[in-house]
Structures are given as C-alpha cells and as structure tokens.
C-alpha cells in the first residue's frame, strides 16, 4: 500500500494551496446562486433540476444532471455555509482518494513496484486536473471518477470469480450500482460499462479482433456473453432513463459556446471536430497553456484542407490506429512482464506471474478444482493474479483514454463547449497508464545501464515539472481576477468581459469600463458585455450612453429582460412615461423558453411588472388599472417566481372583481396549463375569445397553447385568425408567422413574415426570418435580398451571416451565383 499512500499524499500536498481560494467562475451559479443548496428548498428538488438549479425539463436547461454532486454541495452548505474553504477541502480530499484508488487499480496491471508508483504519481501531479480540483464545480468530474474506478474494480473482481463462485454476481451488481452513481455525479461516468467490456474481452479473455465473432459460438464463453449482455442492458437502461428524465430533448447552446457546431459548412465542422481530440491530447502531453474557458474563438475553426493543423489531426489518428493495431494483432512469442523479458511464459518478477496462453488456461482449470475441492474461493482471491501483457495494458489504456472522452467529441450530439479541461479528468487515467507502459517497454528494451538511468531520471523530471506546473496553476484559481487575467491569452473576449465584472465589484470603474470595451473589441455582439457596460454607465449617471448599449444588447439578444428593465427605468426617470410603458410591457411578454438562466429572467420580468404598475399608479390611473395593478400584476409576478398558489389566488381575485377582464383570463389559462389542468386552461382561452372575438391577441394565446399540446393544425388556424384580425400589430403578425412555420405551413408563414417585414421594414429580425422562410421555400434570390437587407441594419448578426453562407452554397451549386460573386 506504500505506492497508494505516496501518490495520494502527493495529490494532497500539491493542492493544499487551493484551500484559501475563493469561489471562481462557474462556482457562482452552481453554488452561490443555486437555490437547491438552501435549507428551505426541499432536498428532493435536486433530482428534478439540473446542475445549475434549473428545472431539467425546462427548454433553457443545460441538461447537465448531476444530483449527487449537487447533494454534496448542499451538505457543504449545511455544514459550512458559504465559506469556500470547506468546499475546496472536500475537492482536495476527494482527489487524493481518487489518486489512491487509481494507484491501487494500476497495481492490477503492473504489480508491486516502481511502475505502479509511477502511474499514481503521474496522475497525482498532472496539471490538467487543476480545473477539476481547484474549481469547485469540478467536483462532478472527481466524484464521477471515484465511482468509475470502483465500478471497474468491482467488474474485474467479477471476472476473476465468475467461474468459481455463485457470489460473483454480487460483484457485477456492485459494478452496476457504482456506474449509476458515477453517472449521477457526471454524465460521462456511464462509459465505465464500455471500459469494463473492453477489459473482459481483450484483457481478461485475451481475445484478438478476429477471435471475437468465433468466440460468440463457443459454449464455454457463455458467462462472458452473459456479463457483456448485462453491461449492455444496464448501459441502455441508464441512458434511456437519463434521456427521459431530461424531457426527451437534447440541450441547446449558443453559437459562441461551440462555434463549429453552428457552422454551415460540413467541411469546417468535420475538420474542426476531428482536430479537437488532437488538441485535447496535446493538453495532456504538454499542459503549458491552460485556460478557464475555451469557447468562442479560443480554437479557430479549420475551414480548409490546406490548414496546417490538419497535419496534427492526421498524425494523431494514424498514431492511434497504429497503436491499436499493434496491440490487437497476434502477440509475439517474446513479451515483457513488469520489467523483465519473458519468453514462452516463464515466471517472474515482483512476486507476480506472467503466463503464456496455455499456462493461463491451465491456471484457471487448476483454480477451479482448488475452489471446488477446498471451498477455497477466499484462498484463490488471495493468490497473486497473473499480470496482463503490455499489449493488453495498451488496449485497456486506450479504452480509458478514448471511451470516456467520446461524449465530448460532438459525435452523437453537440456539446456546449469547445474544450473543457475538467472533462479530461477521467481520460487522463488512460493517458497516465499509456505513459507508464510505454516507459516500462522502453526500459525493458534498453540494455545499457546509463540509458536505464536516463529513463528513470526523465520520468522523475516529468513528475517534478508536472507537479510544479500544477502548484503554479493553482494560484490562478485563487480568485476570479487572477483567473480571468490568466485566460486573456487564450480567450480574450470572455476573459476581458469577466474581468470587467470583477473590477467593477472592486469599484475600479475606469478599469472595468476599459475591460468591457476590450471584450467588445474582440467580439462586438456579446449581449452580456453590452448590457454590463450599459449598467456601468447607468450607475455612473451616463444615461444616454447607457441607453445606447442597452439597445445594442437587446438587438443582439431580444430576450434579455434585464436590458428592457433598465431601459424602462431610465426612460421613466427621464419623464418618458409612454416609452417606458411600452418597454416594460414588451419585457413582460418575453417567454423564458431556451434561456440559460430562467430564474434571473423571471426576476427581471417581475421587476418590470411592478414598475409598470407603479407608473400607472403615479399617473393617477389607479381606478382605471386597479384590476391590473392590484390583482393581475401580482398574479403574474408570483407566477414568474414559480409561487403558483399565490399566483392563482390573485388571478381568481382579478376575475372576481372584473369578470370580463380578458388579460386575466389569458394569464390564468397559462397558469392552469402550467399546472397540468389542460381542460380548464382551454376553457379560459375560449372564454377570452368569446368575450372579444375581434381581438387577435386572444387567438394568439390560444394558438400557443394548442402548439404546446402538439395540436399543430388547430394552432395554425388560430395563428392565421390572429394575424387577420390584428394585421397592423407587428408582434401578433410576427408570432403568427412563427407558429405557422413550426406547424410546417411554410407558404402561409411566408405570407405573414412578409407582412411583418412591411410593418417594420427596418427590423433586422423580421427581415432575417423572412429570408429564412423564402430560403426554405426555394425562393433563393428573394431570400438573398432579405438577408442582405437584414445585415444592413445589423451587420454583425451571426445567425443571418450563417444563413446567408448556406444560401450562397446552394445558389453556387444551382448556378445562380458564382464563387466570386
């Protein structure tokens, strides 16, 4: 156990300087503002919300379901409150435990001695782990790795006892339960089931690729097939339940999170996605440049075959295939075993056996009789197990490196990042094993003592410099200012923007303003940065400039409720009451679908509603608007805060005081639909239409309800009716066009998109959507014209630019446009 203790101690010591660190970056949203950590929130809510506290089935949810990690944060909060020291302590201790467990797992592959210790020290010191350990949210990766290893070790125990004991199925049950726990810490934990299958087939049974299919038909391999079948069943069950629990919908991300996924060019997507694993491997090999965030333009897209980085891609996959091929081909007669050359299965080294295939099978048979005759299963398990050959260790190492990384490759679904260092925490185990087995093979082949000493000192130097880099990198995670400054080289737009927030909190106004402007220099359409700069200017009484940036923020992201709120407040204070009313009303109508932070959105909308009521009251319109202010406004405010019983109370009061109040019918109908009372909800929507059949807005709300119920044809009818009645109201016409498009009635949608563009010919969103529907309907020249008009009003709109590039590709293929046009 010395190797385990030494490697764990190193992992502990290297991260002691993180104990004094503050909450950084994603820690704020996952911990400081996460309502699931508070004692007044039912703890069961953790199992319905995502990692950030948003309802998992919400359209804006990140879909990152990690309830066990969130539960650990809640326990931290219950014991130590918001003191970051206790959170960091748990991370460091958990990393030390994982390091010890990994070292113990390495002993199964390398036996006692230097090589096991080397693998453990490499893992303990690797700098790629700093984000996972020093950043508190990285606990998800550490916890997943802990149960990943437990699951794998349980399955290995199952393999070694499968032929000798009925109790062996307890091991596979333990493996399945640990795999479930690993997945509930972080999604990639479920991949341990695939790694276990690789171990069983290629390491324990020592099958080569050409032997797999014939092995299926051999009766003696029935236990193997049963075990693999159980792994497949359990994995499919977990993935099916996981997908169902998150609403049967994948997450949606902004184009800045993963620019390659938003590219219209198949070539660009392909080249970039193939290159990214190469970049990740380089971070494992040479973790010199690390960053808290690799989104946006941190890794430029590969757009052409002539990009020199494609050479890295080719070299990476060629090396990977060559390594896999040499490991899975027929083994040579001479192989190495834990530091000794072994020919025809001769014994030796460090008290472990390295057997030939015949001796290996013989050992199984003899052990069978020992267990039968002496009831010696415990004796068998105490025996030294034969060590796998170099080829088998390479296969298992490759599976540990590749399989847990597959969910991050964009192969099955797009992910919300370009590179994430903490995602490499589990795959780094495979990397450390590969380095260890490669070093061992080189050491064995080397005959001269001088060269052997050189290899020894080289590995010692590697561990030293890895540890030094880890210790230095930890200092960047001490606080957010240091962290964001360290990321300017890799992702200047994101780093400068976040640094601006930190400087503003320190009351360094001038420096904060410069930081925001630097961020916008690198990426001018970042809605958050435009809003933050506007807020800074507003707080320093530079209201005209603030309004300018708020409007730019709204133009970049029309759903940014906080920008509407502050715009309305400025207009209200400037005496522009009518403009303020329109702004507050516009804000109150923004839905919270597909928003990353619906809680913040609801808070801003609620403030808009209260400010709107305050405006009416101050203007002496209390009697006219009393129902709206005292009842409906309160109802909508409570509804947006998810306090549904209070909201229902105010809606009922509103309808009692004014039975023909149409807005109250519509909003109460929304609440009933939200709480699952769909039949009652429909009655209130129909009642609103009955009260005023000439009001298009009523049909629009009813149509939205029908659309959510997947009654697409009826929804389309309501949309057209609404647009016909209120054909001069831009919002009604524009939303009707959206609904018709969702119902796949593209011709009708085109009609109303055209009408919307006529009502607001200078509104880029209207022109862009008209271009998109014309694009879908095959009217390419008209589509091009509208895209270009949209870009005249908003030149940096990424979606319009992307759609236009797609259109031009089609036009070039059809001869409607040359590549030089």
Query: What is the residue-wise DSSP string for 448-475?
Result: -HHHHHHHHHHHHHHHHHHHHHHHHHHH
Lowest mean pLDDT among 275-279, 410-414, 717-721, 748-752: 410-414
E strands along 413-564, which residues?
Answer: none
Residue-level pLDDT at 165: 63
Q: What is the pLDDT of residue 652?
A: 66
List pLDDT tens digits, range 639-672. 454 555 655 655 665 566 556 767 777 777 877 7
Kindly list the distances between the CA atom of residue 216 and the CA atoms of 200, 212, 553, in Å, as whole numbers in the listed order: 14, 7, 61
Query: Which are the contacts of 455, defined by CB distance < 8 A and separation ≥ 6?
Result: 439, 442, 443, 446
Q: Is the pLDDT of residue 261 over 50?
A: yes
Q: Which of 209, 205, 202 is nearest to 392 (CA)?
A: 202
- Region 584-603: what's the mean pLDDT? 77
pLDDT at 19 over 90: yes
**More confident call, 713 vs 421:** 421
- N-terminal to C-terminal alpha carbon distance within the chain: 70
Mean pLDDT, residues 130-152: 96
Q: Going by DSSP bridges, is the β-strand pair 334-337/340-343 parallel, antiparallel, or unpaired?
A: antiparallel
pLDDT surpasses 60 at 633: no
Nearest CA to 424 out of 195, 70, 131, 150 is that of 131
Is residue 343 within 8 A of residue 336, CB to CB? The reply is no
- For 769, which DSSP code? H
Per-residue confidence band for 422, with pLDDT thresholds at 50, 70 and 90: very high
Task: Sketch out the chain's domains with CATH numbers.
Answer: 1-253+448-471 (no CATH), 761-820 (1.25.40)
d(CA 8, CA 96): 5
> Comparing 384-393, 623-632, 679-688, 771-780, which segment has the lowest mean pLDDT?
623-632
| pLDDT-derived band at 162, boundaries 50, 70, 90 | confident
Q: Select, from the ranges 30-34, 97-101, 791-795, the one with the highest average predicted confidence (pLDDT).
A: 97-101
| Tokens standing for residue 107 | 């002993």
Nearest to 146 by CA among 100, 187, 110, 115: 100
Is-contact 738 754, C-beta < 8 A?
no
Name the residue among 71, 64, 103, 63 with its Cα closest to residue 90.
71
What is the rounded CA–CA span in Å between residue 517 and residue 493? Answer: 10
In sequence order, the β-bridge partners of residue 342 are 335
Mean pLDDT computed over every residue of the chain: 83
Half-sphere exposure of 34 (CA within 13 A, CB side): 29
3-state secondary structure of 55: strand
The answer, yes or no, to whether residue 519 has pLDDT greater than 70, is: yes
The answer, yes or no, to whether residue 88 has pLDDT greater than 50, is yes
Tokens at 220, concatenated: 């003696």
pLDDT: is 780 or 117 the higher one? 117
Tell me which DSSP letter residue 202 carries.
Answer: I
Task: Please say whether the beta carbons of 767 and 793 come within 8 A.
Answer: yes
CA dihedral 162, 167, 169, 171 (to 10 degrees): -90
Q: Is the pLDDT of residue 384 over 60?
A: no
Instruction: Find out whether 817 and 808 touch, Cβ atoms under 8 Å.
Output: yes
Coil, strand or helix: which one is 310? helix
658 φ, ψ (degrees, to nearest 5): -150, 90
Residue (of 451, 381, 464, 483) closest to 157 by Cα position: 381
Task: Using pLDDT thresholds of 50, 70 and 90, give the confidence band for residue 380.
Answer: very low
Mean pLDDT on 203-222: 84
Closest Cα partner for 735 from 701, 712, 690?
A: 701
pLDDT over 60 at 342, yes or no: no
The two tokens of residue 755 are: 């009408």
Q: By three-state DSSP, how is residue 343 classified?
A: strand
CB 440 within 8 A of CB 232: no
Q: Are 334 and 354 in contact (CB under 8 A)?
A: no
Task: Please give the average per-residue pLDDT across 432-437, as a whole number.
Answer: 96
Q: Are 417 and 295 in contact (CB under 8 A)?
A: yes
What phi, psi does 805 have (nearest 5°)?
A: -65, -40
C-alpha 38 chain-centroid distance: 24
pLDDT at 644: 55
Average pLDDT over residues 421-433: 96
Q: What is the pLDDT confidence band of residue 333, given thresholds at 50, 70 and 90?
A: very low
Smallest CA-to-CA distance from 187 within 54, 55, 51 is with 51
At CA 195, angle to CA 189 and CA 196, rounded to 5?
105
Q: In the numeric block, which tokens belong to residue 645? A: 């019983």
Each residue of 690-728: pLDDT tens digit? 888 887 878 888 888 888 888 878 888 888 888 888 888
Q: Which of 297, 296, 299, 305 is nearest to 267 (CA)?
A: 305
The secondary structure of the chain in percent helix, strand, coil, rounded to multiples of 5, reads 70, 0, 25
Alpha carbon of residue 311 to chain centroid: 29
Query: Rounded to 5 degrees, what are φ and ψ at 343?
Result: -120, 130
Distance of CA 524 to the CA centre of its chain: 25
At residue 614, the pLDDT reads: 65
CA distance 348 to 344: 12
Task: Tell me the pLDDT band of 169, cut-offs 50, 70 and 90.
Answer: confident
Residue with token string 């699952």: 676
Per-residue pLDDT averaged across 448-456, rounded?
A: 92
Could you tell me which residue, 128 or 718, shows the higher pLDDT? Answer: 128
Helix axis angle, 764-776 to 780-793, nearest 10°: 160
Q: Can you read off the two tokens belonging to residue 653?
A: 């009061």
Task: Look at the block and give the residue holding tokens 């810490």.
Answer: 185
d(C-alpha 424, C-alpha 242), whole Å: 22
Residue 340: strand, helix, or coil: strand
Distance, in Å, from the CA atom of 183 to the CA atom of 474, rounded to the nearest integer, reads: 27
502 pLDDT higher than 50: yes
Q: Which of 501, 326, 334 is nearest to 398 (CA)?
A: 326
Lowest mean pLDDT among 443-447, 550-554, 722-726: 722-726
User: 3-state DSSP call for residue 335?
Assistant: strand
pLDDT at 653: 57
Q: Report d(CA 182, CA 190) in Å as an integer.
A: 7
Give yes or no for residue 6 having a pLDDT over 80: yes
Report yes or no: 64 and 113 within 8 Å, Cβ to Cβ: no
Task: Give the Cα separation of 452 and 446 in Å (integer).
Answer: 6
Q: Which two tokens stand for residue 427?
A: 């795959």
Which residue reads 């271009």 in tokens?
A: 771
Whether residue 343 is predicted with pLDDT greater than 60 in this model: the reply is no
Cα(616)–Cα(374) distance, rounded to whole angstroms? Answer: 90
Q: Find residue 343's DSSP bridge partners.
A: 334
Q: For the chain, what percent of residues have pLDDT higher than 70? A: 85
Q: Provide the token pair at 445.
A: 């082949």
624 pLDDT more than 50: no
Q: How far is CA 617 from CA 117, 580, 614, in A?
A: 74, 14, 5
How high is the pLDDT of residue 765? 83
Q: How confident is the model at residue 625 (pLDDT cuts 50, 70, 90)?
A: very low
Percent of the chain predicted with pLDDT > 90:
45
* Helix intervals (H) in 527-677: 527-539, 543-556, 561-573, 577-588, 598-618, 626-627, 633-640, 644-657, 662-674
Asked whether residue 535 carries a pLDDT value surpassing 80, the answer given is: yes
Give the CA distances from residue 435 to residues 69, 397, 430, 458, 565, in Å, rounded to whole numbers and listed in that order: 30, 10, 9, 12, 56
Residue 612 to residue 632: CA distance in whole angstroms: 12
Cα(380)–Cα(168) distance, integer angstroms: 13
Cα dihedral 64, 66, 69, 75 sign = positive
Q: What is the CA radius of gyration of the chain?
A: 31
The predicted model gives 733-762 an average pLDDT of 84
Identify the H or E element spanning 314: helix 309-328
CA distances from 16 to 19, 20, 288, 478 (A): 6, 8, 21, 12
d(C-alpha 525, C-alpha 797), whole Å: 7
Threshold 0.85, pTM exceeds: no
Q: 178-192, 281-295, 673-687: which has the minimum mean pLDDT?
A: 673-687
Q: Please say if the pLDDT value at position 148 is more than 60.
A: yes
């Amino acid at each position: 156990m010395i190797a385990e203790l030494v490697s764990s101690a190193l992992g502990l010591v290297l991260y002691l300087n993180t104990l004094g660190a503050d909450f950084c970056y994603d820690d704020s949203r996952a911990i400081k503002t996460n309502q699931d950590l508070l004692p007044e929130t039912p703890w069961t809510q953790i199992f319905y919300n995502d990692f950030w506290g948003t309802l998992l089935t919400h359209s804006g949810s990140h879909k990152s379901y990690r309830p066990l990690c969130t539960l650990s944060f809640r326990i931290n909060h219950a014991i130590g409150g918001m003191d970051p020291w206790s959170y960091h302590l748990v991370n460091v201790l958990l990393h030390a435990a994982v390091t010890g467990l990994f070292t113990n797992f390495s002993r199964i592959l390398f036996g006692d001695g230097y090589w096991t210790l080397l693998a453990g020290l490499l893992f303990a010191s690797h700098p790629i782990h700093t984000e996972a350990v020093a950043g508190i949210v990285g606990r998800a990766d550490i916890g997943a790795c802990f149960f990943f290893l437990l699951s794998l070790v349980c399955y290995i125990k199952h393999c070694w006892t499968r032929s000798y004991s009925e109790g062996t199925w307890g091991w596979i049950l333990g493996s399945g339960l640990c795999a479930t726990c690993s997945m509930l810490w972080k999604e990639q934990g479920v991949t341990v089931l695939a790694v276990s299958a690789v171990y069983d087939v290629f390491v324990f049974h020592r099958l080569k690729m050409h032997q797999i299919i014939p092995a299926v038909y051999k009766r003696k391999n029935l236990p193997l097939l049963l075990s693999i079948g159980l792994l497949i069943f359990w994995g499919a069950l977990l993935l099916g339940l996981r997908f169902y629990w998150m609403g049967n919908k994948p997450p949606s991300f902004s184009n800045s999170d993963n620019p390659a996924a938003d590219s219209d060019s198949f070539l660009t997507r392909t080249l970039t996605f193939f290159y990214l694993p190469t970049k990740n491997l380089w971070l494992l090999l040479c973790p010199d440049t690390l960053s808290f965030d690799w989104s946006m333009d941190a890794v430029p897209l590969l757009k052409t075959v002539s990009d020199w980085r494609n050479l890295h891609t080719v070299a990476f996959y060629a090396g990977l295939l060559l390594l896999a091929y040499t490991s899975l081909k027929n083994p040579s007669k001479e192989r190495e075993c834990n530091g000794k050359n072994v020919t025809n299965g001769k014994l030796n080294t460090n008290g472990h056996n390295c057997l030939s295939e015949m001796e290996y099978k013989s050992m199984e048979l003899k052990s069978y009789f020992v267990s039968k005759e002496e009831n010696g299963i415990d004796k068998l398990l105490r025996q030294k197990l034969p060590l796998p050959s170099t080829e088998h260790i390479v296969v298992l190492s490759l599976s540990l490196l590749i399989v847990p990384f597959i969910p991050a490759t964009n192969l099955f679904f797009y992910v919300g990042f370009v590179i994430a260092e903490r995602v490499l925490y589990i795959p780094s185990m495979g990397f450390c094993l590969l380095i260890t087995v490669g070093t061992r093979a080189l050491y064995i082949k080397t005959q001269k003592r001088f060269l052997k000493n050189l290899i020894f000192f080289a590995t010692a130097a590697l561990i030293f410099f890895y540890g030094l880099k880890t210790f230095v990198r930890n200092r960047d995670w001490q606080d957010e200012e240091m962290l964001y400054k360290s990321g300017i080289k890799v992702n200047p737009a994101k780093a400068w923007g976040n640094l601006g927030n930190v400087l503003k909190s320190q009351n360094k106004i001038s420096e904060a303003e410069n930081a925001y402007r630097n961020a916008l220099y690198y990426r001018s359409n970042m809605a958050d940065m435009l809003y933050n700069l506007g807020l800074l200017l507003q707080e320093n009484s530079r209201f005209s400039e603030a309004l300018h940036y708020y409007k730019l923020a709204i133009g970049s992201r029309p759903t940014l409720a906080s920008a509407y709120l502050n715009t309305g407040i400025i207009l209200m204070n400037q005496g522009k009451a009518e403009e303020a009313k329109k702004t507050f009303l516009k804000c109150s109508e923004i839905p919270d679908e597909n928003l990353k932070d619906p809680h913040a959105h609801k808070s801003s909308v609620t403030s808009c509603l209260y400010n709107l009521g305050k405006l009416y009251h101050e203007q002496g319109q209390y009697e006219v608007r009393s129902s709206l202010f005292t009842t409906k406004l309160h109802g909508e405010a409570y509804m947006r805060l998810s306090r549904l019983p209070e909201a229902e109370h105010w809606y009922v009061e509103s309808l009692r005081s004014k039975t023909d109040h149409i807005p109250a019918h519509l909003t109460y109908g929304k609440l009933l639909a939200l709480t699952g009372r769909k039949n009652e909800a429909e009655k209130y929507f129909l009642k609103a239409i009955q009260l005023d059949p000439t009001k298009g807005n009523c049909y629009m709300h009813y149509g939205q309800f029908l659309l959510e119920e997947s009654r697409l044809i009826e929804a389309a009818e309501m949309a057209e009716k609404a647009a016909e009645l209120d054909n001069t109201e831009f919002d009604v016409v524009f939303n009707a066009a959206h609904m018709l498009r969702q119902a796949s009635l593209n011709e009708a949608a085109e009609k109303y998109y055209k009408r919307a563009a006529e009502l607001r010919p200078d509104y880029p969103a209207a022109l862009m959507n008209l271009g998109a529907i014309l694009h879908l309907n095959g009217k390419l020249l008209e589509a091009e014209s509208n895209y270009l008009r949209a870009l005249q009003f908003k030149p940096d709109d990424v979606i319009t630019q992307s759609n236009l590039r797609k259109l031009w590709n089609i036009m070039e293929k059809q001869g409607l446009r040359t590549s030089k046009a």
